[in-house]
Amino acid sequence: MIDMHCHILPGIDDGAQTIEDSLALLHAEQEQGIKKIIFTPHFNPERQDIDKFLHAREKSFDALKNADGFSDLAFETKLGCEIFFSMHLIEMDIAKLAFENTKYILIEFPIMNRPYGITRTMQSILDRGYTPILAHVERYEYFTHDPIKLYDLVSMGCIAQVNAAAVVNTSNVKGVNALQYINWEMAHIICSDAHSIDNRPPNTKAAYRFVEKKLGSQYKDWLIKNSRDIFSNRYFDEPVIQKPKKFLGRWR
Ligand SMILES: [Fe+2]
Q: How far is ligand 1, taken at its centre, from the CA of residue 97, in Å?
A: 15
Do the beta carbons of residue 122 and residue 148 sit within 8 Å? no
Q: How far is ligand 1, taken at its centre, from the CA of residue 248, in Å?
A: 35
Does the pLDDT at position 104 exceed 80? Answer: yes
Look at residues 143, 163, 155, 152 and name the one whose alpha carbon lies nearest to residue 223. Answer: 163
Contacts of 172 (CB under 8 A, 6+ apart): none
If one looks up domain 2-231 in CATH, what number appears? 3.20.20.140
Q: Over range 135-145, report the average pLDDT.
A: 95
Among the residue ranges 205-214, 217-226, 231-240, the one predicted with the least confidence is 231-240
The phi and psi torsions of 95 (rounded to 5 degrees) equal -55, -35
Do the beta carbons of residue 102 and residue 230 sit within 8 Å? yes
Does the pLDDT at position 3 exceed 90? Answer: yes
> What percent of the chain shows pLDDT beyond 70?
98
Q: Over range 10-28, report the average pLDDT.
A: 98
Q: Give all strands of the β-sheet with 82-84 in edge-to-edge order.
A: 42-43, 82-84, 104-108, 131-134, 159-163, 189-191
Spans of all domains in the chain = 2-231
Q: How far is ligand 1, taken at its centre, from the CA of residue 201, in Å?
A: 12
C-alpha 99/C-alpha 230 separation (Å) is 9
Answer positive or negative: Cα dihedral of 3, 238, 156, 89.
positive
Q: How far is ligand 1, taken at its centre, from the CA of residue 173, in Å?
A: 20
Q: How far is ligand 1, taken at its centre, from the CA of residue 246, in Å?
A: 30
- Which one has a higher pLDDT value, 240 or 122? 122
Q: Over range 145-150, report the average pLDDT.
A: 94
Q: How far is ligand 1, taken at its centre, from the CA of residue 243, in Å?
A: 28
Does the pLDDT at position 239 exceed 70? Answer: no
Q: How far is ligand 1, taken at its centre, from the CA of residue 192, in Å?
A: 8
- If you count DSSP H runs as helices and E runs as strands, how many of each does the chain have, helices first? 9, 11
